[in-house]
């Protein structure tokens, strides 16, 4: 009888000891000033062209300075990645502005392959059901990467892709 009780305890230890999902991705870009160039999909390109025609093209903010190039169909953002901003890098849909309802999301699922490719999958249930899938392919020193992202919300999927490179110190 003691053997059965001991086996039952041992069998449950891995469940108790299972580590929680990491708070941040296991693979991050290097700290510093970054330039991120996103190829805009046609619908977003049209919105940005309309915004630029209305005088609202370039803008700044806490995420860094953003510029729009209508001819190239790109949006370029410069951003300082430091210890604080790296602590929430790659969290995408989990973060909202203070005045918006905070999303209710499952813990992100991170996968690293080839030591330089990070995949992040995320599902949220509120304020509306949504999901995202992102693949980041870093260079060996994590000073540049390419990315592809797919976000689905309200039955609509948005895809984006682009490049990023470290351009100096903050």
**Using one digit for the tens of pLDDT, what is the confidence trace for 105-159?**
899 999 999 999 999 999 999 888 999 999 999 999 999 999 999 999 988 998 9
Say what the pLDDT of residue 100 is.
Answer: 62
User: Residue 15 class from Cβ within 10 Å (0-12 exposed, 13-18 middle, 19+ buried)?
Assistant: exposed
Residues 81-97 pLDDT 10s: 999 888 888 766 554 44
pLDDT value of position 18: 35
**CA-atom Rg of the chain in angstroms:** 20
What distance in Å separates the CA atoms of residue 159 and residue 144, rounded to the nearest whole number? Answer: 20
Q: How far is CA 40 from CA 49, 70, 107, 163, 168, in A?
A: 11, 10, 28, 12, 25
- What is the value of pTM for the model shown? 0.76
Contacts of 139 (CB under 8 A, 6+ apart): 116, 145
Which of the four pLDDT bands, split at 50, 70 and 90, describes residue 13? very low
* Of residues 163 and 50, more confidently modeled: 163
> Beta partners for 40?
none
Q: pLDDT band for position 43 (50/70/90)?
A: confident
Domain range annotation of the chain: 30-168
Task: Kindly state the DSSP code that residue 59 receives in the 8-state scheme.
Answer: B
Q: Which tops the pLDDT comparison, 36 or 14?
A: 36
Whether residue 39 is predicted with pLDDT greater than 90 in this model: the reply is yes
Is residue 16's pLDDT more than 50? Answer: no
């Amino acid at each position: 009888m003691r053997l059965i009780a001991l086996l039952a305890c041992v069998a449950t230890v891995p469940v108790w000891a299972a580590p929680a999902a990491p708070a941040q991705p296991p693979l991050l870009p290097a700290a510093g000033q970054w330039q991120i160039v996103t190829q805009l999909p046609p619908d977003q390109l049209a919105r940005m062209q309309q915004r630029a025609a209305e005088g609202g093209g370039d803008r700044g903010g806490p995420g860094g300075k953003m510029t729009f190039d209508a001819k190239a169909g790109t949006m370029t953002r410069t951003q300082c990645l430091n210890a604080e901003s790296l602590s929430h890098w790659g969290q995408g849909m989990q973060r909202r502005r203070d005045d918006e309802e905070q999303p209710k999301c499952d813990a992100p699922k991170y996968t690293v392959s080839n030591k330089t490719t990070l995949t992040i999958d995320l599902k949220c249930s509120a304020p509306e059901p949504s999901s995202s899938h992102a693949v980041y392919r870093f260079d060996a020193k994590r000073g540049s990467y390419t990315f592809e992202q797919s976000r689905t919300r309200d039955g609509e999927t948005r895809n984006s892709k682009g490049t990023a490179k470290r351009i100096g110190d903050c």
